[in-house]
Structures are given as structure tokens and as C-alpha cells.
Structure 1
Amino acid sequence: MGKKKVLFFNAKREKCNSDSPHLGLGVLAAVLKESGHDVLVVDYQFKPQAPSPKKFIQTYEPDVIGLTLYTATMKEADKILEEIKKFDKPILLGGPHATLYYDTLVKKANYIIVGEAERIISEVVEGAEVTSKGQIIKSEPLDPKNVPNPDFTSFFGYEDIFIYPLLTSRGCPYNCSFCAVRYVSTRKWRPRNIEDCIDEVISAKRVLKGMGSVVIYDDNAMFRKKHIKNFIKCYLDKKINLPLTIINTRADGLDDELVLLLKKANCPSIGIGVESGHPDVFDTVQKGETLEEIIDAAKIVKKYKVPLALCFVIGLEGDSLDKTKSSIELAKKLKPDHIYWNMITPFEGTRIKEWYDQNGKVFDLINHSSWVDGDFMCEEPCAETPEFTVDQRKKAYIMAILETNDTRLSILDIGRLIPYVRTYGLYIEFFRWIPRNIFMMVKKPFKLLHLAIKIYPEIGFAGLFKRIHRN
């Protein structure tokens, strides 16, 4: 079919920047390049100040244009779509939102790819043409051992990549009620070869001169503890000398040996998904682990003095304002260094979406994210029940961040915080929070100094500046 020029876009999420490029688009770029095509990736989440899509299309002159979609960025993605439609080029849509809501997209693009796209992307690009109606193409999951390393040199501004995103496996066998991973990357856990992962990082370090850390973005990196332990041991043996972080950590995957390995790899923090501290609410999630295991894992992390992060979700099945107080009490008991209070987002296909359809309401999810980043205030709740209304959920959130010293909330936010305190009558919580927050502010420079002394030899001044800025 001949060489084609492919231009990929990723829209930016409001109030959230990233020092890490889009991993999925990096892999697709590598697959397409292996098939003889040219690729340019414009990731506005990574490079928010990049020129407009129009300018890239005019200068790069692509044959095919692709856009990866997330529910949380659909409004921005729609703006990009409106701009690229003017150029009469074949348009491809993919990503988690396309996989979950593909039937709503047939009028927006020529091809909607459902699932992991690596197996079919070259064929779709080679046959792409402008059509009157979108074609839904479902792709089967593949063995990640057969996928090339991501090509981040195809990204606009790739020289500024600080966080290197890595997958050591795909999929998660668990079936948490709120999680849509089973539809996006399946419940089949599929590991990569450890040697390939290490070679990928070493090669990337040669090319990406600003690379300052490695983050594992697996759906469930710890499903086989032996696999992740062997990876970290090899990572240490090869003296890669960059802080290593694992996202999506499960409590039942943590033990003394693994925490010690992560500490040796200068892991900046270990996060555990608690979800709820109320036993009845916790049980509805069906995580495949117990609250006792979570408490024990948190104690192990604290024992080895690795910063502990905890994640909770407000609004799970059967949750209420009073039951949220159980989560707050558990958080105070475990004393995390970082805490994240997320508001439930019932995605299509999840068990919790079915539960809300029967027991409450789900509002428009477009541009909605459960994740709070860049600002202390969460987005408007997108679901409610008669027992736990939208207003009560807002109160639960403000109460939680005041009682547990959420690090995104500082004394400088008092002006914006006071109206919420008045509305929800949280005066006692507010006045207890003030001295604790002042104490945290006093401690912060010393914590940053300790961090600087620890990681400066590995990542240098530029990397140190970025890391401290992110903290």
C-alpha cells in the first residue's frame, strides 16, 4: 500500500499536566514504523503548549489522523476532532473511551478501534479512507512479548520526557466493581520478558537525556510477585540508577522483601488502593483481598520508612456520609504520607454502573474524572443515591480532606475553602486542620531537602528541579 504519514493526537485533561508521554501511542508508533510508515505524535497532556492541531496537519501533511480518547478529556478531544475534520483525512479513534462507548462515536470518525490496537493498526492505516459512516473494528488482545518497545522519538518535544512509562505486563484477573480494565486490557494477566523490559529502559536512557525516573503502569504489576521481584532485582543489578515507581499496587502483593527491593530502587512512595474503610462497603467491591491485608501491607511500608500513599473512593455500592467516616478513621489510623480521595465514576459495563442503574442515578460522565489532581477540589459528583446525595458526597469529600491532611490542600487555600466549611458546617474539622497544615508546611522544606540529598546523584540538577516541582 506504500508508506503513509500518520499523525496521532492525545487531548489534554484540565488541571493536569504530565512529565510522561502516552505509552499506548508510543507503542503504536513503533508498530507502524516497523511496517514502514512515518509517525508523529502530539500529546497535549505531555506538551500542553504545543501548536494547534491545524498547524501540525498543515506542516506534517498526514495521510491518516488518529486520536486516543478518554472519558475525562472528551470535550477537548471533540475540539480536536472538529479541527481535523476540516482537512478531509481518514480519522481513527481508539483508547479506553472508544472501547467502552464505541457505539456513540460512529458519526465522529471513519474508524473506531475497540480494544488493543497493535494487532490491526497497520492494516487499518494502510486501508484507511474517508467514509460516510464510522466502522467499528474490534481487536483481540495480544501477547505483549510480541510488541515492540515504544518509540517516543516520534513525539513532539520528546527531549523533555522526564518520567519513562513502562509496562511489565498487561491485564488484571480481578473484577473490582468500579474498574473497567477488564474491557480495556482484559482479565488475562500477560507478562513480558523481564530481560526485554530492562533492555527497553537501558535503551531509552541512552536516547532520552532528560529521563529522571521510571514508572510501571501495569494494570496489576504484582499479580505474580516472583515476576515483579525478579524485575526489580535485575533493575538494581543493571545499575539503572533511576527512581522506580509502581502504579496500581495491591496490598496482597506487598511483603517485606518487595518493599525492601522498592526502597533500594529509590521508590518515592508506595500506594495502596483501600477504596473504603467500612467493611460492608469494602466487601461490595470484591477486590479479592481483605481490609486486614491492606492494614498489614500499610504497616510493612511504614516499617521500612517508605512514604505511604492510600487511595479511597467515595460513593461505592451502599456508601453514605456516615460510612465515609469509617474510611476517614482508617486513614487516620494508618497515617499515610499522601492520600487520595476519589469520587466514584460508574463507567459503562462495570458492576457498579449496573448497581447505580437499579439504586440511584448516573449523570453525564463526559469530561469527568474521579482523580483529583492539580487542585484540592474534586469535580462535581456524577452519581447519587437517595441515601447519599450529591450534596452529601461533597460534604464527605471536604470532611475527608480536612481530617486526613490531603497534601493538595494547603493553608493558602483557606479563601476558597471557607465557603465549603460554612455550607457544610465543618467548623470543628476546619479549626483542627489549620494547625496540622501549618506544621506540615514547616516540615515540607526539610522533607524536600532530604529528597534532594537522596536522589541528586542519580538524576542531576534538572531532574531534581522537576521532581521537587512535582512535589
Structure 2
Amino acid sequence: MSSNKKQKKILFFNAKREKCDSNSPHIGLAMLSAVLKSSGHEVLVVDYQFHPNAPDPKAVFMDFQPDIIGLTLYTATMKEAERILQQISEFNKPIMVGGPHATLYSNELVDMANYIVVGEAENIIVNLVENANINSKGDIIRSESPDPQELPFPDFTTFLGHDEIFLYPLLTSRGCPYNCSFCAVKLVSTRKWRPRNIENCIEELIRAKKKFESMGSIFIYDDNSMFRKDHIKKFLYYYLDSDINLPLTIINTRADGLDDEMLSLLKKAKCPSIGIGVESAHPEVYEKVKKGETLDDITEAAKLIKKHKLPLALCFVIGLEGDSLEKTKCSIEFAKKMKPDHIYWNMITPFEGTKIREWYDTYGKVFDLVNHSSWVDGDFMCEEPCAETPEFTVEERKKAYIMAILETNDTRLNITDINRLYPYVKKYDLHHEFFRWIPKNLWKSFKKPFELLDQVIKIYPEVGFKGFVKRVTKKIRTK
């Protein structure tokens, strides 16, 4: 098939997940925008997760009149994505889908779109767009993972509402060599760790800060930012030597990637907190996750974080291989001992292709994952568990979750939630945990205004009145 070099207009959509806003635009679509624009094409991105008040898909289509439409798909937003598809399919334009859900479930999507892209799309997107044909039906296109060194900077100016970017997303590397049983990253962005040039990362941030006046924070979204500690340390040294001077957050940190030097650099970079994935503190369950680090590593890292007076966040997963209600209590006790500032209790989501899914297919049941997310956003209640075993039923998992958020004083749970919380307390006979939680939460509510005042005192001199107002506005919008 010969390439059609005529300039094309491409319209990308990212669906919004209910109860979850993001001040950070979709970095994957920004990368595709940059690649397409470098080949002379015109791109518009409507990221409803980032800009929930954007016009509806039909209105955007009528105004932009694209030649081809793309959707990035996540399992947690599939129903919303299907609603977008219903609106735009009547325009008889080629539709391509990509993203994690398309990569994991490509064979189930052949009736949804003309093209299904599996993997990272930068290497094939130009050829796909230039040759897109409405007569194609369910073509599955597999893409080789790109070398991040050879890619242009992401282009966020193609996004509706880009002048409101507050959290700027950055990738300093892609891929994760580890093989955690529950993680699908290796299926989406491979186990090959691929770094970017640090000088280019800093140059990208310098340009972005000049371009987006509302930019107030930077998030590093690497799959495994600390796989090579010298890489991220070099970035931090360069970052601190620059004039960027914005709070920097790194997600997906590992306990074995933290040391005194790293934490000192992160503190100087005004990192608001450090998160560690514990997953499970029960030795037998933890061993089966195959994280490549030990519970002792996690304990020592938590102590180091506390030593550097940085807020500690811990993440747990309920329902891993061999887990049970009794074994979850080990995680609860571990969390209480570590005394984190933030804690996240997530329900297992056994994605297709992961080791945990193979285990559940043999020893348990997996229900419909569409529109399901393990992550709890904006509310203390998690979604209905999407898997169970005879040893750990759905009801036991819900009891484990309520017990966990009460015992560890989850920051998403407030005293104002009592009316909604108590029926679960009564159903699962957690009165003892409930009445111990009440005074703790009252004390937390009493301290909150003083903690906010302390934050104001720290932030205001750095950002001034306008910057402070922007931060408060963005925080309110996120909540």
C-alpha cells in the first residue's frame, strides 16, 4: 500500500473516569501529536480526563472536521469510551484505538474500530494515519517499542484547554525489567528499560515552563524511574541546578531505589511525598508477587524516608495470590507500625496476560473488568471486587477493605462519611474498629486547618499570590 502524503487532520479522544479528574494531560497522546505534527499533519486532542468540561465529541468533530479519529483505551474507562465511539461512528471516518486496554484485549475490539494498535504507537502512527482506510475492519497493528532518545518532545499545545496545564507530566525512561505478578506494564511498554537523555528532559521542562504559565508542578510518570539510580540522580542534580524551581513528584518508586543521597535530592526538589508499593506484608503472599525486593528493603526505605522528614505513602493490594482476610491483617499491622502519612488500599485487578490472571483462572474466578479500577479515587469506597477465591470471597474482601481503612485511618475517610460508612461497619461487625477510628479522625480533622496553614506558609513565598490561588483552585477541582 503506497503512502498518501496529503496532510491529514487527526482528532484524538481520551475518556474520563467517573469521580476522577486529572490536572495532568495525557502524555501518550502528546507524544503522538508531536510525531504527527513533525510529519506535517494537524492534530487536536480532547482529553476529558484532563479537561472534563470540553465540548461533547459530536460538537468537536463538527468544528474540527478530522480525516481520522483515535481513542486511547483504558479498562477503567471503556464504557465512557464506547459512548464516545457511538457519537463519532456515524461520521464514517476511519477510527483507530490504542492504549493499555487495546494492547491487552486487542482481539475483543475488532468490531469496535478500523485499526487496533498494540503497544507504543510512535513508530507506526504516521504510516497508519497516512494510509487510513474506512474499508479496513478490525486490523490489529503491532508496533515495535521506540527508542525514547529518538522521539520529539511531547506537544501539549494540541490539547483543548492546554493553557490550564498545572501538573506537567514527564518521562525520563520507559519500560520496567521487573516481573511483578499483578502488573501489566511489561505487556504495554515492555520489560526493556529505555532511558532518555537527561539534558533533553531538562530542556523539555524549561521550554514547557515558558510556554504554560499555569504550570505549577512536575510529575515523573516513568514505569520504573529508579531502575538505574544513577540515571534519576543525574536528572535530580541537573534539575536542581536549573531555574525550573517547581515541586517535583516521582511515582512508581521502589524501596530498593532509595538511599540517603536520593532522598536528600528529592527533598531539595520539593517532592511532596514518597510512595512505596508494599502490596502485601504477609511473607507468603509477598513472596509470590516476585517484586525483586524484600519486606526488609521496604521497612528500611520507610525508615529512611521518615529520617529525611519526607511524607511517607504506602500502597497495598488486597487479593494477591494466596491472600485471605487473615493475611490482610498482616498488612494492616505492618501499616500501623510504619505510620505512613498517606495510605492506599487497592483491590486486585487480574488483567489478561499477567501471572495473577493465570493463577485466578486456575484457582478462583474473575468477573467483568470493564470500567473497573483497583485505584480508589475521590471517595473512601472501593469498587466491587472483580475476583474471588474460595479462601477469600467477595464479601470477605470488602470486609478486609473496610477494616483496613478504619485501622490505618485512611486519609480519604472523613468523619463526615459516618452515615455512609456505618452500614458497612454493621454488616461486617467492625464496631470495635469503628469506635477506635472516630477519635483518631476527630483529631485529624482538628489538625487539618493547622497543616493547611503550614503549607500556605511554605508555598506562598515560592509562588506568590497568583501562584497560590492557582494551586488552591486546581486542588479544589481535583477533589
Residue 461 of structure 1 aligns with which residue? 468
Residue 127 of structure 1 aligns with which residue? 131
Residue 405 of structure 2 aligns with which residue? 401
Residue 170 of structure 1 aligns with which residue? 174
TM-score (norm 1): 0.99
Instruction: Kindly indicate whether the alpha-carbon contact (under 8 Å) linking 1:251 and 1:272 is maintained by their aligned counterparts in 2.
Output: yes
1:370 and 2:374 matched: yes
1:392 and 2:399 matched: no
1:66 and 2:51 matched: no
Q: Could you tell me how far apart the structure 1 residues matched to 2:471 and 2:364 are?
A: 47
Q: Could you tell me how far apart the structure 2 residues matched to 1:304 and 1:440 are?
A: 23
Instruction: Kindly indicate whether the alpha-carbon contact (under 8 Å) linking 1:324 and 1:396 is maintained by their aligned counterparts in 2.
Output: yes
Residue 292 of structure 1 aligns with which residue? 296
Q: Could you tell me how far apart the structure 2 residues matched to 1:188 and 1:374 are?
A: 34
For 1:198-219, what per-residue CA distance to the aligned partner results, in whole angstroms no more than 9, with x for missing partners? 0000100001100010000000
Which amino acid in the other structure matches residue 14 of structure 1?
Answer: E
Q: Could you tell me how far apart the structure 2 residues matched to 1:466 and 1:194 are?
A: 32
For 1:252-296, what per-residue CA distance to the aligned partner results, in whole angstroms no more than 9, with x for missing partners? 000111111101011010000000010000000000000000000
Bigger mean CA offset, 142-151 vs 167-176: 142-151
Secondary structure of the residue aligned to 2:316 is strand
Residue 316 of structure 1 aligns with which residue? 320
Which amino acid in the other structure matches residue 134 of structure 1?
Answer: G
4+ runs deviating over 3 angstroms: 466-471
Residue 237 of structure 2 aligns with which residue? 233
Instruction: Kindly indicate whether the alpha-carbon contact (under 8 Å) linking 1:455 and 1:464 is maintained by their aligned counterparts in 2.
Output: no
1:77 and 2:81 matched: yes
Which amino acid in the other structure matches residue 228 of structure 2?
Answer: R
Instruction: Kindly indicate whether the alpha-carbon contact (under 8 Å) linking 1:448 and 1:468 is maintained by their aligned counterparts in 2.
Output: no
Which amino acid in the other structure matches residue 326 of structure 1?
Answer: C
Secondary structure of the residue aligned to 2:299 is helix
Residue 387 of structure 2 aligns with which residue? 383
Q: Could you tell me how far apart the structure 2 residues matched to 1:360 and 1:5 are?
A: 47
Secondary structure of the residue aligned to 1:318 is coil
1:265 and 2:298 matched: no
Residue 439 of structure 2 aligns with which residue? 435
Secondary structure of the residue aligned to 1:272 is strand
TM-score (norm 2): 0.97
Residue 444 of structure 1 is aligned with which of 438, 445, 448?
Answer: 448
Residue 149 of structure 1 aligns with which residue? 153
Which amino acid in the other structure matches residue 70 of structure 2?
Answer: G
CA RMSD in angstroms comes to: 0.9
Q: Could you tell me how far apart the structure 1 residues matched to 2:342 and 2:474 are?
A: 16
Instruction: Kindly indicate whether the alpha-carbon contact (under 8 Å) linking 2:166 and 2:474 is maintained by their aligned counterparts in 1.
Output: no
Residue 222 of structure 2 aligns with which residue? 218
Instruction: Kindly indicate whether the alpha-carbon contact (under 8 Å) linking 1:281 and 1:318 is maintained by their aligned counterparts in 2.
Output: yes
Instruction: Kindly indicate whether the alpha-carbon contact (under 8 Å) linking 2:117 and 2:141 is maintained by their aligned counterparts in 1.
Output: yes
Q: Could you tell me how far apart the structure 1 residues matched to 2:242 and 2:9 are?
A: 37
Q: Could you tell me how far apart the structure 2 residues matched to 1:165 and 1:247 are?
A: 11
Q: Could you tell me how far apart the structure 1 residues matched to 2:343 and 2:258 are?
A: 18
Q: Could you tell me how far apart the structure 2 residues matched to 1:28 and 1:17 are?
A: 22
Q: What is the Cα deviation at residue 151 of structure 1? A: 0.5
Q: What is the Cα deviation at residue 467 of structure 1? A: 5.9
Q: Could you tell me how far apart the structure 1 residues matched to 2:232 and 2:425 are?
A: 44
Aligned length: 471
Which amino acid in the other structure matches residue 462 of structure 1?
Answer: V
Following superposition of structure 1 onto structure 2, how do residues 82-161 of structure 1 map, counting pairs within 5 Å? 82-131=86-135, 133-161=137-165
Instruction: Kindly indicate whether the alpha-carbon contact (under 8 Å) linking 1:12 and 1:76 is maintained by their aligned counterparts in 2.
Output: yes
Instruction: Kindly indicate whether the alpha-carbon contact (under 8 Å) linking 2:120 and 2:144 is maintained by their aligned counterparts in 1.
Output: yes
Q: Could you tell me how far apart the structure 2 residues matched to 1:222 and 1:128 are?
A: 39
For 1:287-341, what per-residue CA distance to the aligned partner results, in whole angstroms no more than 9, with x for missing partners? 0000000000000001111111000000000000000000000000000000000
Q: Could you tell me how far apart the structure 1 residues matched to 2:128 and 2:136 are?
A: 16
Residue 274 of structure 1 aligns with which residue? 278
Q: What is the Cα deviation at residue 468 of structure 1? A: 5.0
Instruction: Kindly indicate whether the alpha-carbon contact (under 8 Å) linking 2:70 and 2:95 is maintained by their aligned counterparts in 1.
Output: yes
Q: Could you tell me how far apart the structure 1 residues matched to 2:474 and 2:268 are?
A: 18
Which amino acid in the other structure matches residue 470 of structure 2?
Answer: G
Instruction: Kindly indicate whether the alpha-carbon contact (under 8 Å) linking 2:168 and 2:215 is maintained by their aligned counterparts in 1.
Output: yes
Instruction: Kindly indicate whether the alpha-carbon contact (under 8 Å) linking 1:71 and 1:368 is maintained by their aligned counterparts in 2.
Output: yes
Q: Structure 2: any 5+ residue segments left out of the alignment?
A: none
Q: What is the Cα deviation at residue 127 of structure 1? A: 0.4
Residue 197 of structure 1 aligns with which residue? 201
Q: What is the Cα deviation at residue 132 of structure 1? A: 5.2
- Describe the shift of the 1:455–1:467 C-alpha distance in structure 2 as closer, same or farther (beyond 3 A): farther
Q: Could you tell me how far apart the structure 2 residues matched to 1:245 and 1:434 are?
A: 32
Which amino acid in the other structure matches residue 61 of structure 1?
Answer: Q
Q: Could you tell me how far apart the structure 2 residues matched to 1:456 and 1:124 are?
A: 48
1:360 and 2:337 matched: no
Residue 59 of structure 2 aligns with which residue? 55
Residue 330 of structure 1 is aligned with which of 315, 330, 334?
Answer: 334
Secondary structure of the residue aligned to 1:80 is helix
Instruction: Kindly indicate whether the alpha-carbon contact (under 8 Å) linking 2:172 and 2:222 is maintained by their aligned counterparts in 1.
Output: yes
Which amino acid in the other structure matches residue 308 of structure 2?
Answer: Y
Q: What is the Cα deviation at residue 75 of structure 1? A: 0.3
Secondary structure of the residue aligned to 1:113 is strand
Which amino acid in the other structure matches residue 126 of structure 1?
Answer: E
Which amino acid in the other structure matches residue 163 of structure 2?
Answer: E
Q: Could you tell me how far apart the structure 2 residues matched to 1:55 and 1:76 are?
A: 17
Q: Could you tell me how far apart the structure 2 residues matched to 1:386 and 1:64 are?
A: 48
Q: Could you tell me how far apart the structure 1 residues matched to 2:156 and 2:428 are?
A: 47
Sequence identity percentage: 70
Q: What is the Cα deviation at residue 461 of structure 1? A: 2.0
Q: Could you tell me how far apart the structure 2 residues matched to 1:135 and 1:447 are?
A: 54
For 1:86-105, what per-residue CA distance to the aligned partner results, in whole angstroms no more than 9, with x for missing partners? 10000010000000000001
Q: Could you tell me how far apart the structure 2 residues matched to 1:7 and 1:448 are?
A: 41
Instruction: Kindly indicate whether the alpha-carbon contact (under 8 Å) linking 1:456 and 1:464 is maintained by their aligned counterparts in 2.
Output: no
Q: Structure 1: any 5+ residue segments left out of the alignment?
A: none
Q: Could you tell me how far apart the structure 2 residues matched to 1:130 and 1:468 are?
A: 42
